[in-house]
Amino acid sequence: KKIATDMKSLTRQVEQFARKKKIEIETLQVREAYRKEFLGNISHELKTPLFTVQGYIDTLIDGAHKDKVIRKKYLDRAQKGVERLTYIVNDMDMITKLEVGDLSLDKERFDIVALISQVFEQFEMKSARKKISLVFDLDYKEPIYVYADKERIQQVIANLVVNSIKYGKENGTTEIAVEDLINNKVIIRVTDNGEGIKSEFIPRLFERFFRVDRTGSRKEGGSGLGLAIVKHIVEAHDERIYVDSELGIGSEFSFTLEKASSRVEDIDVEVEKD
């Protein structure tokens, strides 16, 4: 009887072990498929600008360099292509670090209103080219202190503003608002009245390399990683990102941040400074 019980227990253990191994293998298979897809996407994304640059250089070598005007034009275009390659590679580097959890946050207390103004200045030219007005919807430009990784949050805002310009319509508006929430949080909203997004695509927006319109988006530049990076950074802060969009009407991307005033140590710092 004892042998029978032991056998049963042993069988259960073997079954458990097999189940565990099966799950581990399945996880590895999923990861491997993911890795392959990622590498496939990377080479696909890099090929277009690489071919463009190569095309201009070949044409120059083949004789186009003799014409001063054409030479300048093609060199400018080749340079744009190299710039594009650089930021795609930078975005890939960033997403890889974020995905393997290799990017530690350097949180500090800073004024989110000043940071938004800075991002707006950064994109003044880009928005002017499309006659898009950047509007900061705030009654008083008084500082609002948050506690977060300033550099990363700057990137989040920059990516959202860039998208609102890229997918915004000529003569349109990009508006940013900062609102207080309960629980010592603020919400930052980036709203445009651009092309909007079909509801069926909304759940996929934050996937890396996902684009609603592949040809259209590529014309506008970008790596297809902007929103994936945004989501990672916001979630690394234990905060949330939301999208509200309607095709042909516009989109609103918003995310929450922790207010610095909720932290006693930060209030102390402020008192010391004063």
- As a whole number of angstroms, the distance between CA 227 and CA 159 comes to 7
CA–CA separation, 130 and 166 (whole Å): 9
> Shortest approach of ligand ADP to residue 138 CB, angstroms?
21
Closer residue to ligand ADP, CB minimum distance, 8 or 219: 219
Sign of CA dihedral 36, 104, 84, 200: positive
Residue 49 touching ligand ADP (CB under 6 A)? no
Strand partners for 192: 174, 251
- The single residue among 153, 224, 231, 256 that binds ligand ADP, judged by CB under 6 A, is 224
225 CB-near residues (< 8 Å, 6+ apart): 88, 91, 92, 94, 95, 208, 209
The string of DSSP codes covering 179-193 is EEETTTEEEEEEEE-
* Segment interacting with ligand ADP, rule: CB under 6 A, options 62-70, 101-109, 217-225, 259-267: 217-225
Residue 167 in the binding site for ligand ADP (CB under 6 A): yes
Binding to ligand ADP by residue 233, rule CB under 6 A? no
Assess 155 for contact with ligand ADP (CB under 6 A). Answer: no
Query: Is residue 48 at the binding interface for ligand ADP, with CB under 6 A as the rule?
Result: no
User: What residues numbered 8-47 form the site for ligand ADP, per CB under 6 A?
Assistant: none
* 8 Å CB contact between 186 and 178: yes
By the rule CB under 6 A, 75 interacts with ligand ADP: no
Rule CB under 6 A: which residues touch ligand ADP?
A: 163-164, 166-167, 192, 194-197, 205, 210-213, 217, 222-228, 251
